[in-house]
Amino acid sequence: MKNFFCILGLMLLVGCQSTSPKYLSTDELKTNYPRLAVSDLLMPKELSDFREKIEPQVAPALRSELEKRGFVVVSADRLYQIRSELRKSATDLYDPVSGEYDELRGQEIWRKALQQAKSELNVDAFLFVGITVVSAHFSNNLGNMYNAAWDGQQEYALWQEHGVGSVLGSFFVQETGRLAATSLYIDISNESDTTLSFGAGGIELLNKFDENNKAKTKSADQLFNDPAVIQQALQRALNKIDTHKVK
Protein backbone atom coordinates (compact mmCIF):
# COMPACT_ATOMS: atom_id res chain seq x y z
CA MET A 1 0.00 0.00 0.00
CA LYS A 2 1.42 3.32 -1.12
CA ASN A 3 1.86 6.14 1.37
CA PHE A 4 -1.77 6.51 2.34
CA PHE A 5 -0.65 8.03 5.61
CA CYS A 6 0.62 11.19 3.90
CA ILE A 7 -2.78 12.74 4.61
CA LEU A 8 -2.63 12.23 8.36
CA GLY A 9 -0.60 15.30 9.21
CA LEU A 10 -2.94 17.52 7.26
CA MET A 11 -5.94 16.33 9.24
CA LEU A 12 -4.43 17.54 12.47
CA LEU A 13 -4.39 21.08 11.14
CA VAL A 14 -8.12 21.22 10.45
CA GLY A 15 -10.00 23.49 12.84
CA CYS A 16 -13.54 23.11 14.08
CA GLN A 17 -16.42 25.01 12.57
CA SER A 18 -17.95 27.63 14.84
CA THR A 19 -21.55 26.99 13.79
CA SER A 20 -23.54 23.84 13.10
CA PRO A 21 -25.65 23.55 9.94
CA LYS A 22 -29.37 22.93 10.23
CA TYR A 23 -29.76 19.43 8.86
CA LEU A 24 -32.98 17.54 8.10
CA SER A 25 -34.04 14.59 10.22
CA THR A 26 -34.98 11.20 8.80
CA ASP A 27 -38.69 12.02 9.12
CA GLU A 28 -38.25 15.29 7.21
CA LEU A 29 -36.20 13.55 4.55
CA LYS A 30 -38.73 10.77 4.16
CA THR A 31 -41.53 13.30 3.69
CA ASN A 32 -39.73 15.54 1.20
CA TYR A 33 -37.09 13.30 -0.37
CA PRO A 34 -38.42 9.72 -0.26
CA ARG A 35 -36.52 8.42 -3.32
CA LEU A 36 -32.74 8.27 -2.90
CA ALA A 37 -29.97 7.44 -5.36
CA VAL A 38 -27.25 5.82 -3.27
CA SER A 39 -23.56 5.86 -4.20
CA ASP A 40 -21.07 3.04 -3.92
CA LEU A 41 -18.68 3.40 -1.00
CA LEU A 42 -16.51 6.49 -1.48
CA MET A 43 -12.93 6.44 -0.25
CA PRO A 44 -10.06 8.92 -0.31
CA LYS A 45 -7.45 7.79 -2.82
CA GLU A 46 -5.01 7.00 -0.03
CA LEU A 47 -7.44 4.48 1.52
CA SER A 48 -8.86 3.04 -1.71
CA ASP A 49 -7.11 -0.32 -1.22
CA PHE A 50 -9.48 -1.01 1.67
CA ARG A 51 -12.66 -0.64 -0.41
CA GLU A 52 -13.02 -4.34 -1.20
CA LYS A 53 -12.76 -5.15 2.50
CA ILE A 54 -15.28 -2.56 3.70
CA GLU A 55 -17.90 -2.14 0.97
CA PRO A 56 -19.51 -5.63 1.27
CA GLN A 57 -20.08 -4.87 4.96
CA VAL A 58 -21.62 -1.45 4.36
CA ALA A 59 -23.69 -1.54 1.14
CA PRO A 60 -26.30 -4.23 1.97
CA ALA A 61 -26.66 -3.05 5.57
CA LEU A 62 -27.18 0.56 4.48
CA ARG A 63 -29.79 -0.38 1.89
CA SER A 64 -31.67 -2.48 4.44
CA GLU A 65 -31.65 0.33 7.01
CA LEU A 66 -32.86 2.90 4.48
CA GLU A 67 -35.70 0.67 3.31
CA LYS A 68 -36.70 0.01 6.92
CA ARG A 69 -36.98 3.77 7.34
CA GLY A 70 -39.33 3.99 4.37
CA PHE A 71 -37.03 5.20 1.59
CA VAL A 72 -37.02 3.95 -1.98
CA VAL A 73 -33.41 3.19 -2.92
CA VAL A 74 -31.81 3.09 -6.36
CA SER A 75 -28.19 2.98 -7.49
CA ALA A 76 -26.39 6.26 -8.20
CA ASP A 77 -24.10 4.65 -10.80
CA ARG A 78 -25.78 6.58 -13.62
CA LEU A 79 -24.77 9.86 -11.94
CA TYR A 80 -21.10 9.06 -12.39
CA GLN A 81 -21.65 7.91 -15.97
CA ILE A 82 -23.27 11.24 -16.77
CA ARG A 83 -20.42 13.16 -15.14
CA SER A 84 -17.90 11.18 -17.17
CA GLU A 85 -19.80 11.92 -20.39
CA LEU A 86 -19.97 15.63 -19.59
CA ARG A 87 -16.27 15.75 -18.78
CA LYS A 88 -15.37 14.10 -22.06
CA SER A 89 -17.39 16.62 -24.02
CA ALA A 90 -16.04 19.64 -22.10
CA THR A 91 -13.27 21.63 -23.76
CA ASP A 92 -12.48 23.99 -20.90
CA LEU A 93 -11.76 21.73 -17.94
CA TYR A 94 -8.03 22.43 -18.04
CA ASP A 95 -6.12 25.68 -18.41
CA PRO A 96 -4.58 25.75 -21.91
CA VAL A 97 -1.33 27.26 -20.61
CA SER A 98 -0.73 25.71 -17.18
CA GLY A 99 -2.73 22.52 -17.73
CA GLU A 100 -4.28 22.92 -14.28
CA TYR A 101 -7.74 21.49 -13.61
CA ASP A 102 -10.47 24.16 -13.39
CA GLU A 103 -12.20 23.41 -10.07
CA LEU A 104 -15.09 25.82 -10.69
CA ARG A 105 -15.83 24.30 -14.09
CA GLY A 106 -15.62 20.85 -12.54
CA GLN A 107 -18.20 21.85 -9.93
CA GLU A 108 -20.50 23.16 -12.65
CA ILE A 109 -20.29 19.83 -14.46
CA TRP A 110 -20.99 17.97 -11.22
CA ARG A 111 -24.15 20.02 -10.56
CA LYS A 112 -25.30 19.49 -14.13
CA ALA A 113 -24.75 15.75 -13.71
CA LEU A 114 -26.78 15.79 -10.48
CA GLN A 115 -29.65 17.57 -12.20
CA GLN A 116 -29.66 15.22 -15.17
CA ALA A 117 -29.37 12.12 -12.99
CA LYS A 118 -32.23 13.28 -10.79
CA SER A 119 -34.48 13.44 -13.86
CA GLU A 120 -33.31 10.17 -15.42
CA LEU A 121 -33.42 8.16 -12.19
CA ASN A 122 -36.62 9.82 -10.94
CA VAL A 123 -35.16 10.46 -7.50
CA ASP A 124 -35.51 13.29 -5.01
CA ALA A 125 -31.97 13.39 -3.60
CA PHE A 126 -28.61 11.64 -3.55
CA LEU A 127 -27.02 9.74 -0.68
CA PHE A 128 -23.24 9.56 -0.61
CA VAL A 129 -21.66 7.09 1.79
CA GLY A 130 -17.94 6.89 2.41
CA ILE A 131 -14.95 6.62 4.67
CA THR A 132 -13.02 9.75 5.58
CA VAL A 133 -10.05 10.77 7.72
CA VAL A 134 -10.90 13.03 10.64
CA SER A 135 -9.24 14.46 13.72
CA ALA A 136 -9.81 12.67 17.05
CA HIS A 137 -9.39 14.59 20.32
CA PHE A 138 -7.55 12.92 23.19
CA SER A 139 -6.90 13.88 26.79
CA ASN A 140 -4.89 12.45 29.67
CA ASN A 141 -7.08 13.87 32.42
CA LEU A 142 -8.26 11.46 35.08
CA GLY A 143 -11.81 11.28 33.76
CA ASN A 144 -10.75 10.25 30.26
CA MET A 145 -7.27 8.79 30.63
CA TYR A 146 -5.64 8.66 27.19
CA ASN A 147 -8.84 7.94 25.30
CA ALA A 148 -9.28 9.58 21.90
CA ALA A 149 -12.88 10.46 21.01
CA TRP A 150 -14.57 11.39 17.72
CA ASP A 151 -17.97 10.88 16.05
CA GLY A 152 -19.32 8.80 18.93
CA GLN A 153 -16.29 6.48 19.02
CA GLN A 154 -13.52 6.14 21.61
CA GLU A 155 -10.18 4.34 21.40
CA TYR A 156 -7.16 4.11 23.67
CA ALA A 157 -4.56 6.56 22.36
CA LEU A 158 -1.47 4.58 23.45
CA TRP A 159 0.00 1.46 21.92
CA GLN A 160 -0.99 -1.61 23.91
CA GLU A 161 2.54 -2.37 25.05
CA HIS A 162 2.80 1.09 26.60
CA GLY A 163 0.46 1.41 29.55
CA VAL A 164 -0.23 4.60 31.46
CA GLY A 165 2.48 3.83 33.99
CA SER A 166 5.24 3.42 31.41
CA VAL A 167 4.18 6.55 29.58
CA LEU A 168 4.09 8.62 32.72
CA GLY A 169 7.46 7.19 33.62
CA SER A 170 8.85 8.48 30.32
CA PHE A 171 7.60 11.99 31.11
CA PHE A 172 4.66 11.98 28.75
CA VAL A 173 3.32 15.45 29.48
CA GLN A 174 1.07 16.25 26.55
CA GLU A 175 -2.32 16.76 28.19
CA THR A 176 -4.52 17.22 25.16
CA GLY A 177 -4.26 17.01 21.40
CA ARG A 178 -5.44 15.26 18.27
CA LEU A 179 -4.77 12.04 16.38
CA ALA A 180 -5.85 10.98 12.90
CA ALA A 181 -8.84 8.63 12.79
CA THR A 182 -11.39 7.24 10.34
CA SER A 183 -15.15 7.71 10.24
CA LEU A 184 -17.97 6.47 8.09
CA TYR A 185 -20.13 9.31 6.82
CA ILE A 186 -23.51 9.69 5.11
CA ASP A 187 -24.16 12.86 3.12
CA ILE A 188 -27.61 13.42 1.62
CA SER A 189 -27.60 16.20 -0.98
CA ASN A 190 -29.98 17.67 -3.55
CA GLU A 191 -29.43 18.32 -7.26
CA SER A 192 -27.84 21.70 -6.48
CA ASP A 193 -25.12 19.93 -4.46
CA THR A 194 -26.49 21.36 -1.20
CA THR A 195 -26.18 19.04 1.79
CA LEU A 196 -29.62 18.32 3.26
CA SER A 197 -28.44 16.05 6.06
CA PHE A 198 -25.26 14.51 7.36
CA GLY A 199 -24.21 11.90 9.89
CA ALA A 200 -20.93 10.23 10.81
CA GLY A 201 -19.75 7.40 13.02
CA GLY A 202 -16.18 6.87 14.16
CA ILE A 203 -14.35 3.67 13.19
CA GLU A 204 -10.78 3.62 14.50
CA LEU A 205 -7.57 5.55 15.03
CA LEU A 206 -4.93 5.55 12.31
CA ASN A 207 -2.10 6.22 14.75
CA LYS A 208 -1.33 6.08 18.46
CA PHE A 209 1.34 7.43 20.80
CA ASP A 210 4.42 5.41 21.67
CA GLU A 211 6.54 5.73 24.83
CA ASN A 212 8.45 8.65 23.28
CA ASN A 213 5.31 10.75 22.92
CA LYS A 214 5.37 10.29 19.14
CA ALA A 215 2.39 9.30 17.00
CA LYS A 216 3.13 5.90 15.50
CA THR A 217 1.04 4.88 12.49
CA LYS A 218 -0.79 1.56 12.34
CA SER A 219 0.22 -0.80 9.56
CA ALA A 220 -2.28 -1.56 6.79
CA ASP A 221 -3.00 -5.07 8.11
CA GLN A 222 -4.08 -3.58 11.46
CA LEU A 223 -6.91 -1.52 9.94
CA PHE A 224 -10.61 -2.23 9.32
CA ASN A 225 -10.49 -5.77 10.68
CA ASP A 226 -13.53 -5.69 12.98
CA PRO A 227 -16.89 -5.93 11.14
CA ALA A 228 -18.75 -5.08 14.34
CA VAL A 229 -16.96 -1.73 14.61
CA ILE A 230 -17.82 -0.86 11.00
CA GLN A 231 -21.49 -1.77 11.56
CA GLN A 232 -21.48 0.32 14.72
CA ALA A 233 -20.10 3.29 12.76
CA LEU A 234 -22.86 2.90 10.17
CA GLN A 235 -25.52 2.83 12.88
CA ARG A 236 -24.07 5.94 14.52
CA ALA A 237 -24.16 7.81 11.21
CA LEU A 238 -27.77 6.79 10.59
CA ASN A 239 -28.81 7.55 14.16
CA LYS A 240 -27.27 10.99 13.90
CA ILE A 241 -29.52 11.74 10.92
CA ASP A 242 -32.49 10.16 12.69
CA THR A 243 -32.11 12.53 15.62
CA HIS A 244 -31.46 15.89 13.91
CA LYS A 245 -33.94 18.33 15.37
CA VAL A 246 -36.93 19.18 13.22
CA LYS A 247 -36.80 22.76 11.98
| pTM of the model as a whole | 0.85
Confirm if 25 and 69 have CB atoms less than 8 A apart: no
Q: Does residue 162 lie in a domain region?
A: no
The pLDDT value given to residue 146 = 75
Confirm if 34 and 72 have CB atoms less than 8 A apart: yes
How many percent of the chain have pLDDT more than 90?
Answer: 67
Number of structural domains the chain divides into: 1
What is the C-alpha to C-alpha distance for residues 93 and 170, in angstroms, rounded to an integer? Answer: 54
Q: Does residue 147 lie in a domain region?
A: no
Between 2 and 41, where is the model more confident?
41
Q: Does residue 153 lie in a domain region?
A: no
The model's pLDDT over 27-48, given as tens digits with 9 standing for 90+, comes to 999 999 999 999 999 999 999 9
The model's pLDDT over 224-243, given as tens digits with 9 standing for 90+, comes to 999 999 999 999 999 999 99
Q: Does residue 73 lie in a domain region?
A: yes
Q: Does residue 38 lie in a domain region?
A: yes
Considering only CA atoms, which of 151, 146, 144, 145 is closest in space to residue 215? 146
The model's pLDDT over 52-80, given as tens digits with 9 standing for 90+, comes to 999 999 999 999 999 999 999 999 999 99
Both ends of the chain: CA-CA distance in Å?
A: 45
Q: How far is CA 44 from CA 50, 157, 239, in A?
A: 10, 23, 24
The model's pLDDT over 98-108, given as tens digits with 9 standing for 90+, comes to 889 889 999 99
The model's pLDDT over 180-225, given as tens digits with 9 standing for 90+, comes to 999 999 999 999 999 999 999 999 999 988 777 788 899 999 999 9
The model's pLDDT over 124-166, given as tens digits with 9 standing for 90+, comes to 999 999 999 999 988 766 455 678 999 999 998 887 644 544 4
Identify the burial level of 238 via C-beta atoms within 10 angstroms of its C-beta, where 0-12 means exposed, 13-18 middle and 19 or more buried.
Answer: buried
Q: Does residue 201 lie in a domain region?
A: yes
Q: Does residue 21 lie in a domain region?
A: yes
Q: Does residue 127 lie in a domain region?
A: yes
Range of the domain at 101: 4-135+177-205+221-242
The pLDDT value given to residue 225 = 96
The pLDDT value given to residue 122 = 98
